[in-house]
Amino acid sequence: MPRKSASEVYPGQRKKEKQQLWRRTGPAPFERAAKRKFLELFGFKCFKCGTPERPAPLMNAHPILCIDHHVPMALGGHLVPGNLVALCRRCNEIKLDRAPETFYNAEDLGRLQPLLNCQTEFFKSVHFDFDRWLADPEGYLVWAGYSPQEAKRMLYDENHPDWYYVGRSDSKVPSLTITIDLGGQVNSVKRED
Ligand SMILES: [Zn+2]
């Protein structure tokens, strides 16, 4: 009988951990930039076999490399800083739920350790800073890795696919939804301050 992958065994948990891991990096374009910076830690190639990521603009997704568990979920690992490895999809499929020691050799594991150790600091460095964002949206997008021209389009061109995440006026205003009960009539008011 073929082995089941962790995604088949723990679909909900896996998705939740993925969201929790990347949500801290901010709106979609910042999340994408953070993922790219993470892959750069691994030289933009598969840690196991060295297959490089396809050169692609930051706008595009990463079709070859994925970021997955070092210690698999099946063995109690979580998708958290310190347990993440960039692998190509093929190696990731081969690794599945195996313990790291049965997939990597000793040399691999020695080389991998510093890349695991730096991840807590890495995620601090890409944690979304709302104050910085409010102070200078364009500068912050450029810091994240976008060109000044791209950043301008994201912020001001409604046809840009990222405008929805960073360009709308309410994407730059911390907002709070208050529900007021007016004698049985419930109104939701968005307060902006
Ligand atoms: Zn590989």
Q: Enter the pTM of the model.
A: 0.81
Residues 186 and 170 in one domain: yes
Residues 24 and 54 in one domain: yes
Taking the centre of ligand 1 as the mean of its atom positions, its distance from the CA of residue 64, in whole angstroms, is 9
- The residues near 68 (Cβ < 8 Å, ≥ 6 apart) are 79, 84, 85, 87, 92, 95
Of 103, 68, 101, give the one whose Cα is nearest residue 86. 68
For the stretch 41-99, pLDDT in tens is 999 999 999 999 887 766 666 678 999 899 999 999 999 999 999 999 999 999 989 99
Residues 180 and 91 in one domain: no
Q: How far is CA 1 from the centre of its chain?
A: 34
Query: Which residue's structure tokens are 């690992």?
Result: 77
Answer yes or no: are the C-beta atoms of 6 and 19 closer than 8 Å.
Answer: no
Q: Which two tokens stand for residue 112?
A: 């991998």
For the stretch 116-175, pLDDT in tens is 999 999 999 999 999 999 999 999 999 999 999 999 999 999 999 999 999 988 776 654
Domains identified in the chain, total number: 2
Residues 72 and 150 in one domain: no
Q: Is residue 1 part of a domain?
A: no
Taking the centre of ligand 1 as the mean of its atom positions, its distance from the CA of residue 132, in whole angstroms, is 37
Q: What is the pLDDT of residue 63?
A: 78
Taking the centre of ligand 1 as the mean of its atom positions, its distance from the CA of residue 46, in whole angstroms, is 5
Answer yes or no: are the C-beta atoms of 58 and 35 closer than 8 Å.
Answer: no
The residue among 95, 125, 155 that closes a domain is 125
Range of the domain at 70: 13-125
CATH number of residue 76's parent domain: 1.10.30
Residues 108 and 32 in one domain: yes
